[in-house]
Structure 1
Amino acid sequence: MKLTSRPLLAFPAVLLTLAIGVQPILAKSDLDQVAVSVGRLLEEGHYTHQPLNDEVSKKFLKTYLEILDFSHLFFTQQDIDALTAKYGTSIDDDVLLGNLKPAYDIYDLYQKRVDDRVAKVKELLKGEIDVKPDTTVELSRQKAPWPKDMAEADTIWQARVANELLQEKLSEHPIEPGPQLVARRYDRLMRNVHEEDKPEQVKLFLSALSQTYDPHSEYLSKSDLKN
């Protein structure tokens, strides 16, 4: 595995080789070692020479959460606050120590939120959805705040699912009944989330770290480079 990026992170090949060659004592697996190497590479090789410190840590965590839940539909603000309190100023140290547990734990929480939400969507699809006439649906929520709690999230999702059903009802060439089509769509989403194995989760995690230093950079795994 190695880090690739666009021009702002054009590190000398020798620096990349040295970083990947580091074998820290505390790293317990190849993925742990890669995390340490990427962290040190960004600290030492990026043109800003910005240390991987608490300031970067907070931005790093925020970027990782945004990558996972870019539409702000699954986490709540309560989740964000709890994760920030737990990892906001320590996730930088975890990377440099080769501790990827935060990456896995946060992804596990995201997966649980997706599972729970898909289950609730399926319950909604079994009956009539009660939505107020003046309800608006924010289709693009990337810039919207996370729901403050699960109750607010439920309200957002009720309107969202009702809108999806309406769109399917208005379709000129319906493939199958709207509720079945919507349920299938969310089953596919849940399956995709579950298919992300540990290396893929680490890829998302280290991409978040890379983008914290440079929004145009991303971490590519060995399998990515082969494709």
Structure 2
Amino acid sequence: MKSNIKQILGGLVMLMFTSLAFAHPAQDLVESSTREVMDILTQEKEKLENDPVALKSLVDEKIIPHLDFEAMTALSLGKNWREATPEQRNELVTEFKELLLNTYMSALTLYTGQEMEFKPFIPEKRDDRAIVRAVFLQPGNKGVPVNYKLRLKDEQWKIYDIDVNNINLVSTYRSTFAQRVAQVGIDGLIKEIKEKNASLVSVKDSG
């Protein structure tokens, strides 16, 4: 599962601005913000690889504002989200956000100038939903399809799910979380995510 999650989150990283003609605000957001992040990664690669604080600052400023962590968490918990107390929900969002960002920061360091070809925008039936479709281009290998799912929240488009090569972020976590909640309960799941985050921070600090 770990490799699948890294591949999914890596899909957020491995993009390149390819078109000046934006067909939709959601596509505009994904393409333009990605170009900015990729430019920074290219120009400051060595610094970011060796300075976790600078890397976290990049993530906090350029990436976090475009992700809907509450929706990601709720969808990943499925029916267990409805059974969670407000306090448990707050903890789940906080810890799941930290888990995704820790993994994502690791994926950012793997970027080596790959490109992403964005597909023409296809409107969804609901005006407050959008899918930005693209193909991750790897030299010498078949392109990998990547879909970014967004929703309009408080007049802003935010990513709430990602598919990479038919591997879905929310579905992958939902399966794992459902198993863990069945075994250790919601509080047990929160404890396990906290422990995972602590171990990831420890690895980064020791590196």
Per the normalisation by structure 1, the TM-score is 0.23
Structure number, greater radius of gyration: 1
Per the normalisation by structure 2, the TM-score is 0.25
| Bigger RCO (CA 8 Å, 6+ sep) | 1
Structure having the higher strand fraction is: 2
